[in-house]
Amino acid sequence: MEIKELGHVVLYVRDLERSRRFYGETLGWQEVGRFGGIGVAFSTGRTHHELLLLEVGVDATPIPKGRRVGMYHVGLKIGDHDDDLRAAHRELQAAGVPIVGTADHVVTHSLYIADPDGNEIELYIDVEPAIWRERPEAILSPPRPLRL
């Protein structure tokens, strides 16, 4: 078997409308379909859907804090230059979305945020020129402070 690409991510959310607004309006995903009152799908246009949100209700168990098994974060490429990251930073601040971290990973420059249910999201740009193509081992570089 050979994996060709990461197709989509499915997230359980407590409040579908709150998460729909966050991913659709704040992050700018294009909504492509709804599944009654329990789900909503989004796409960048690359494929039929890349993100699916499924409502599990406000009484669902929250994501535990600290070290745990499971997903750490989802990385979303938002552009090709630091100007794209700066613009995203301004938009997030204007929307009241807290930045929970930043990093210069040598191959990427990244902002970290959390969705309304605490799922961490990395918003990043590939460093130009794409260092990882010429030096794949660069992905193992220790993170440095991000200077935007």
Residue 128: CATH number of its domain: 3.30.720.110
The predicted structure's pLDDT at residue 130? 79
Enter the tokens of residue 140: 């193992």
Q: Is 114 left (phi over 0), alpha (psi -120 to 50) or beta?
A: beta
- Is the confidence at residue 129, as pLDDT, over 90? no
Amino acid at 79: G
The count of domains in the chain is 2
54 and 86 housed in the same domain: no
Query: CATH no. for residue 13?
Result: 3.10.180.10
80 and 132 housed in the same domain: yes
The predicted structure's pLDDT at residue 16? 98
CA-wise closest residue to 12 among 117, 112, 113, 97:
117
Is residue 13 within 8 A of residue 117, CB to CB? The reply is yes
Q: Which helix (H) or strand (E) holds 75?
A: strand 73-79
78 and 43 housed in the same domain: no
The pLDDT of 117-141, averaged and rounded, is: 91
Q: What pTM does this model have?
A: 0.94
54 and 103 housed in the same domain: no
- What are the pLDDT digits (tens) for 22-70? 999 999 999 999 999 999 999 999 999 999 999 999 999 999 989 999 9
Domain that holds residue 48: 1-58
